[in-house]
Amino acid sequence: MADYTIKVRRFQPESGEGPYWEQFKVELEPSLSVLDALLQTKDREDGSLAVRCSCRAAICGSCGMKINGQSGLGCKTQIGEAQELAEKKMGAVGGSAERAVVVIEPMGNMPVIKDLVTDMESTHWAKIRRVTPWLLPHGAPPEREYIVEPESMLDITQPMACIQCGACVSSCLSMEADPGFIGPAALAKAYRFVGDPRDAETKERLHDLAEDPHGIYDCTHCFACVDACPKDVAPMDQIMRLRRRAGEEGIEDPNSGHDHEIAFVKIIEKKGTLDESLLLQESFAPGIKGKLKPSKRAIKEMLGSIPTAIRGIKTGKMRSLPKLIPGIHHKLPDGAQDDVKAIYKHAEEHNEEFNLYIKGEEDVEPEPDEPTDAILGDEAAAAAESESA
């Protein structure tokens, strides 16, 4: 048994007061959970402390919360580990370990109903419904169930593992700045259907998600949802796969996300390293010198970047022609550029996706670079099982 202090962000709407912090002493084994600490407090100190929970085993997804600033499940975070993290954070800013307490807050990006209970409707469930989270098959339904090859479902086992806890939404740094963003949970759910071989409206789904200005191109690629997810869904990875699929469909989006991606890829093929001014120009107005007319948004964005460029010229940051004039960026030396081009040729022929979640890491290192058969990862198998159950 060990003693811990938890510091809980509390809020009671009926009191008419704003949120406040309250500290409680708890006594429990380090291997017990933060949720256990909260329940002990509720039992012994203050029965009015509100927290949502059910299974206590990281299955139901009810106890999403922020612990030391990190979004996750209260039942899946050990109090001893949380204390160690609090001490480390305290030490980093020059405080003493004795002052470190486990800080517990309600999930972020959501209104708080009471204490640690949040309203998941507007930022979680409404967004989940937004992506049409059910199968849309075409044709007459089969007499019994839809039959698919198990292998064809492997691709979506990762988003299938989602338990709708909202931890990713709580952690989302893009949503923090833009509440309109569809968000990690809903977009992971969207990929679950985009990748489903039974679904017949994949194209329509991709158009919908790419053409929404708060859709797949609104993700800032910060990995916060990847670390927050207690089930290894890696929502951001699913968003990147949606972008890849939308790109393969050639879908043009209002954020110029696809143009940006293509511009980037082409510049590296030609120059090996990034020509930043060409990237800007090609992202907004691809082919400006030849065929395409830039859109109104593109003109606005390009004009908007002029003050920044002028400031850069003034300080000397951009005072050189290769930095200012798109396209005159140098190439790699001595034939290295041809080596890069050869890589493009090879990779474009195969375009292979290596999904670590499904394939897993090799258990034993075989003889150097000896090919082996990929083995289905345990988690992928478990997720496939739980969905079919």
User: Residues 251 to 270: which contact other proteins by CB under 8 A?
Assistant: 255-257, 260-262, 264-265, 268
Rounded distance between C-alpha atoms, residue 329 and residue 41, angstroms: 63
State which residue, 198 or 323, has the beta carbon closest to other proteins: 323
Q: Is there a contact between 106 and 116 (Cβ–Cβ < 8 Å)?
A: yes
DSSP string, 73-139: EGGGSBHHHHHHHHHHHHHHTT--GGG--EEEEPPSSS-EEETTEE--IIIIIHHHHHT--S----S
Per CB under 8 A, does 371 bind other proteins?
yes
Per CB under 8 A, does 351 bind other proteins?
yes
- Please tell me the count of residues contacting other proteins according to CB under 8 A: 87
Per CB under 8 A, does 312 bind other proteins?
yes
**Residue selected from 301, 328, 379, 387 as contacting other proteins according to rule CB under 8 A:** 301
Rounded distance between C-alpha atoms, residue 13 and residue 367, angstroms: 64
Q: In Å, how far from its chain's centre is CA 180?
A: 15
* ∠ CA 284-288-292, rounded to 5°: 90
Site residues (CB under 8 A) for other proteins, limited to 165-204: 173-174, 176-178, 181
**Residue selected from 231, 243, 251, 380 as contacting other proteins according to rule CB under 8 A:** 243
Q: Could you tell me what percentage of the chain is helix, strand and coil, using 3-state DSSP and rounding each to the nearest 5? A: 50, 10, 45
* DSSP label at residue 28: E
State which residue, 70 or 132, has the beta carbon closest to other proteins: 70
Longest dimension (CA), the chain: 74
Per CB under 8 A, does 350 bind other proteins?
yes
Q: Which two tokens stand for residue 179?
A: 């509440």
**Residue selected from 126, 325, 332, 382 as contacting other proteins according to rule CB under 8 A:** 332
Q: Which two tokens stand for residue 131?
A: 């992506």
Minimum distance from residue 40 beta carbon to other proteins (Å): 28
Site residues (CB under 8 A) for other proteins, limited to 199-218: 213, 217-218
Minimum distance from residue 203 beta carbon to other proteins (Å): 19
Question: What x-and-dash track marks residues 79-98 binding other proteins by CB under 8 A?
Answer: ---------xx-xxxx----
Instruction: State whether residue 266 is helix, strand or coil.
Output: helix
Q: Is there a contact between 132 and 205 (Cβ–Cβ < 8 Å)?
A: yes
Per CB under 8 A, does 361 bind other proteins?
yes
Q: Segment contacting other proteins (CB under 8 A): 26-34, 152-160, 187-195, 367-375?
A: 367-375
**Residue selected from 138, 296, 307, 378 as contacting other proteins according to rule CB under 8 A:** 307
State which residue, 24 or 257, has the beta carbon closest to other proteins: 257
Residue-level length of the chain? 389
Rounded distance between C-alpha atoms, residue 134 and residue 223, angstroms: 26
Rounded distance between C-alpha atoms, residue 306 and residue 300, angstroms: 10
**Residue selected from 2, 299, 325, 347 as contacting other proteins according to rule CB under 8 A:** 347
**Residue selected from 186, 190, 219, 358 as contacting other proteins according to rule CB under 8 A:** 219
Q: Is there a contact between 174 and 222 (Cβ–Cβ < 8 Å)?
A: yes
State which residue, 37 or 280, has the beta carbon closest to other proteins: 280
Per CB under 8 A, does 328 bind other proteins?
no
Q: Can you list the alpha helix ranges (DSSP code H) found in the chain? A: 34-44, 79-92, 126-130, 150-153, 157-160, 167-171, 173-177, 184-194, 202-211, 224-228, 235-248, 257-271, 276-284, 296-304, 306-315, 321-324, 336-350, 356-359, 378-388
CB count in 10 Å sphere of residue 343: 12
Minimum distance from residue 213 beta carbon to other proteins (Å): 7
Q: Segment contacting other proteins (CB under 8 A): 15-23, 117-125, 204-212, 347-355?
A: 347-355
Per CB under 8 A, does 284 bind other proteins?
yes
Per CB under 8 A, does 226 bind other proteins?
yes
Q: Segment contacting other proteins (CB under 8 A): 3-11, 47-55, 193-201, 273-281?
A: 273-281
Minimum distance from residue 178 beta carbon to other proteins (Å): 4
Per CB under 8 A, does 339 bind other proteins?
yes
